[in-house]
Amino acid sequence: MQPLFEIVPNFSEGRDVTVVDEAVAAVERCGLRVAHRTSDPVHHRSVLTVFGSGGQLLEAAVAVAAVTARRIDLRTHRGAHPRIGALDILPFVPIAGATVDDAAALARRAAARIWDELHIPSFFYDVASRGEPRTLADVRRGEFEGLAARALAGEQPDVGDVIAHPSAGAIAIGARPVLVAFNIVLDSADLSLGRRIARTLRERDGGLRTLRVLALALEDGRVQISCNFTDVAATPLSRVVGVVERMARRHGACVASCELIGLLPRAALVALAAHALGAEVPVIGQSAR
């Protein structure tokens, strides 16, 4: 069987549906189908989930980069979510018959193609990094507006001889295992509380293993705890929601809603349902025992 991969392009447009439609059409012209799409006008951001062979996804990645570079100008872009590029993040993920190192090789090929064809530079993160792995937060520090200062400080992208395209910025290109993006919204406008919760939760600050967390202020005045789970078996969704709920209540707030971005493994969904129901949840097509 041919190795199966996934790409999850995150791009900086969540309000103009025609841009998202055009990106989807570009993927489909590569012979692929978009498994899932989501857009958020507050974050001003959209996410596609696409499965295919390495060669197909390489073509699709370049095609999406071309659409976003033509349709998005970060010089006038404003949204709640941090970003350095029109196509902000481009992770390659092994799904079946492949390793993360295989995905990293694809990520590097994509970065080279995007530079050669579109003149957009790339920074590598996670497994695609050369030398000491960098996190996405490392790559995206200062956002698009901070790229000029990074260039003045002598920093260079991993691919490309300029640090930013004038309007499309740069792309964070990585390789990683399956990741689950999950947002928790508080019924509170207290961003300092959100940041306290984020520091408590995220792995790099001594929190829960395999968890990356940001606190973001939404336009409606509420605070969002934006979570990336790099291993939902190690850190279940239910555990994080419980911690957020307890911390929020200590400060007079509570969880207003939760939101899944993209897809998640079946096992994670079953575990979440079992926790919510307090009982074992059988999976269709499998024995309930």
* Tokens 């010089």, residue located: 75
Cα separation, 44 vs 12, whole angstroms: 6
Catalytic residues: 81
Q: How many CB atoms lie within 10 A of CB 127?
A: 19
The span from the CA of 44 to the CA of 41, in Å, is 4
Is the separation of the CB atoms in 180 and 93 below 8 Å? no
Residue 179 and residue 93 in contact, taking contact as beta carbons nearer than 8 Å:
yes
Of 3, 23, 145, nearest to 85 (Cα)? 145
> Which H/E stretch holds residue 171?
strand 171-175
From CA 215, how far away is CA 222, in angstroms rounded? 11
Q: Measure the CA–CA gap between 271 and 259, rounded to whole angstroms.
A: 17
